[in-house]
Structure 1
Amino acid sequence: MAGKTPRSLAEAMKALSLASGSTRPTILGKFPNPCAAKTMATEAPRPGNSHIPYSEERIPLWRPDAKVPLTIHSFPSLEPKSLEYWSVQHLHVPMRKDLLHLAIVYEGDNTRQGTAHVKNAWEVAGSHRKLYRQKGTGMARAGWKQSPIRKGGGKAHGPRKNRDFTTQLTRKVYDQAWRIALSYRYRRGELIVVEENGLELPVRQDFVDLCKAGTMRPELEESFYKRYVAEVLNAQALGKAAGRTLFVAKNRRDLLWRGLGFAGEHGEVATIDEIDVKDLLEKGKVVMERNVLKELIARHQCDLVNQFAIHGWVNKGPPIGQLALKAD
């Protein structure tokens, strides 16, 4: 056993180098060279024989110049009529729940009327003299009748009329919240765009004439609209079973407004000036006209448009919709 012991440090290091050299080809053959396969921390190599990084295969990159397809339908059949390409900065903005929350709170604060009003101690009717003497009655001392601590008295620090609840929000943040809400609906397949000025119920003209002439009884008209709207919307999964639908038109459509007025349990209808970010997120689906979508994007893209010329060039933002294919 004594003869196998290394006689010096040089012999021990030589034996160690030989042992490591004999196993080195096996190690390199089993694992790739770490220097040759060096990548960023977010691009870990996929296990197995594939050398495709995770970021390239499973996490698609978001490019501002990319486009997404948008189908234009006819209403109420929802038959495809044309295909357009829209910028990802309009209909595929990444989700930001914090911006949506800020926008919804901002809209709610600005719609509060602030007309609540209560009477304080000086506004309550009655005398303001002391009720009885301070001592000698055997009861607790009492002041005037209108005191806030007495029943029927005034309210201390209560709400007063003409109170302003409005808050401020940066316009760029608010515009981005609008596009985030539209993008959220688009990614889930819940944003249905129809032809321009095509959001109307196809009701027979003879029935409309009878209603206008006053020969149709109101209960029969209401029953017809309820049944007709329910059949049309349920056939396209837009009714009550689908969580109700928000219909947004450029201008008021008489038949659509009248039909959903009788069958409000299946959806809600509004013009472009009557909706906000909260409305886009409340209902099950959103159906709007193409010109409505274009105007909403044009109104809410101030963070994408540069109003000032830089060396004679003005950034007008990405184009709003480009026709790719039209059905015959």
Structure 2
Amino acid sequence: MFANLLGPRTVARGLATVSKYTPPVVNPPASAMIKSRLAQPPQYKLTTVRSFPSLEPVRLQPVSSTVLGQPLRRDLLWRAVVFEADQARVGSSNTRSRAEMGYSRKKLRPQKGSGRARMGDRGSPTRHDGGRAFARHAPFDWSTGLPRQIYSKAMLTALSHIYEAGNLFVVDGQADFVSGHSNAGDLFVAEHGFADTPVLVIVNEFRENLHNATKDKHPRLEIVSKEVLEVRDLLKAHRVIIEQEAFVYLAEQFQPELPIPTVE
């Protein structure tokens, strides 16, 4: 009855809406999967592990891109450098205020009648020999705060910048000489052309022979322990030689925070 009223075209359209078409599941071709993987950034960086003191390549070591693949962030580096410089300030200045100058509090000139500008007591901070306004007394703490995530990011950014420039040398074993004689340091510097180059050596522990061979004649070769390394040390150096154990320590100490997993 209703079919006769609506007509054959309307009935066919209604039947088409009732039945649902489920398309077959087709796996993507292998070329599409390869393209999707190529679009992702690399997860590892290859570093060359070298021997010391020859600095000859020994093997390749993959390192996570979160450690050596950070983009250059000058703002983070600047904040880290300011933070370290504030921490290094001693705060030993001890200036005298106007109350500590020992002068009389009497006005040097009457308030009115002299025809000249009014003047306070001799200890006024406006005078060249007066006390200092808001004088600081030792010890004064100049240190400022910086979130740990920002400082860790700045440290990894500095390491990544040195790695991208090709100036990072990871040493297998200990970065130490057989002898502590100055000739060992002279030969090492002359062989690699480090005479006029600021070189930073990051060690896992104190290396006595390396220290004795370079302390007198090579002031531009700086030796720093892994625990006291600063971002400023990395930025000032043109070549960075680091022991593998110290490099692993820095990677674990300043690793980025893991993202919070999403709950589905």
Whether the TM-score (by the shorter chain) exceeds 0.5 is yes
1:154 — aligned with what?
131
**Equivalent position amino acid for 2:185 in 1:** V
Per the normalisation by structure 2, the TM-score is: 0.74
Secondary structure of 1:199 counterpart = coil
1:236 equivalenced with 2:189 (yes/no) = no
Question: Hey, what's the Cα distance between the residues in 2 that align with 1:245 and 1:79?
Answer: 17
1:291 — aligned with what?
245
Secondary structure of 1:122 counterpart = helix
Question: Hey, what's the Cα distance between the residues in 1 that align with 2:126 and 2:74?
Answer: 45
Question: Hey, what's the Cα distance between the residues in 2 that align with 1:137 and 1:233?
Answer: 74
**Equivalent position amino acid for 2:178 in 1:** P
1:199 — aligned with what?
175
1:114 — aligned with what?
91
2:162 — aligned with what?
185
Structural mapping, 1:3-152, within 5 Å: 63=41, 66-131=43-108, 142-152=119-129
Structure 2, unaligned runs of 5 or more: 1-34
Secondary structure of 1:240 counterpart = coil
**Equivalent position amino acid for 2:65 in 1:** V
Secondary structure of 2:94 counterpart = coil
Deviations 1:37-56 (A, max 9, x none): xxxxxxxxxxxxxxxxxxx9
* Structure 1 residue 173, shift from structure 2 partner: 2.1
1:31 — aligned with what?
none
**Equivalent position amino acid for 1:129 in 2:** K
Q: RMSD across aligned C-alpha pairs, in angstroms?
A: 2.8
Question: Hey, what's the Cα distance between the residues in 1 that align with 2:108 and 2:73?
Answer: 61
Aligned in 2, Cα 1:256/1:62: closer, same or farther, shift over 3 Å? farther
Question: Hey, what's the Cα distance between the residues in 2 that align with 1:148 and 1:189?
Answer: 55
Secondary structure of 1:202 counterpart = coil
Per the normalisation by structure 1, the TM-score is: 0.61
Aligned in 2, Cα 1:266/1:141: closer, same or farther, shift over 3 Å? closer
Question: Hey, what's the Cα distance between the residues in 1 that align with 2:146 and 2:64?
Answer: 25
Question: Hey, what's the Cα distance between the residues in 2 that align with 1:200 and 1:191?
Answer: 17
Judge which range, 133-142 or 296-305, deviates more: 133-142
Q: Is the 8 A contact 1:260 1:269 kept in 2?
A: no
Secondary structure of 1:70 counterpart = strand
1:42 — aligned with what?
none
Secondary structure of 1:247 counterpart = strand
Question: Hey, what's the Cα distance between the residues in 2 that align with 1:304 and 1:100?
Answer: 21
* Structure 1 residue 62, shift from structure 2 partner: 5.5
Question: Hey, what's the Cα distance between the residues in 1 that align with 2:146 and 2:46?
Answer: 32
Aligned in 2, Cα 1:97/1:136: closer, same or farther, shift over 3 Å? closer
Aligned in 2, Cα 1:234/1:291: closer, same or farther, shift over 3 Å? same
Q: Is the 8 A contact 1:91 1:182 kept in 2?
A: yes
Judge which range, 183-192 or 260-269, deviates more: 260-269
Aligned in 2, Cα 1:105/1:137: closer, same or farther, shift over 3 Å? closer
Q: Is the 8 A contact 1:240 1:265 kept in 2?
A: no
* Structure 1 residue 141, shift from structure 2 partner: 5.5
- When the two structures are aligned, how many residues end up with a matched partner? 227
Aligned in 2, Cα 1:304/1:182: closer, same or farther, shift over 3 Å? farther
Q: Is the 8 A contact 2:177 2:184 kept in 1?
A: no
* Structure 1 residue 104, shift from structure 2 partner: 1.7
The alignment-based identity, stated in percent, is: 30
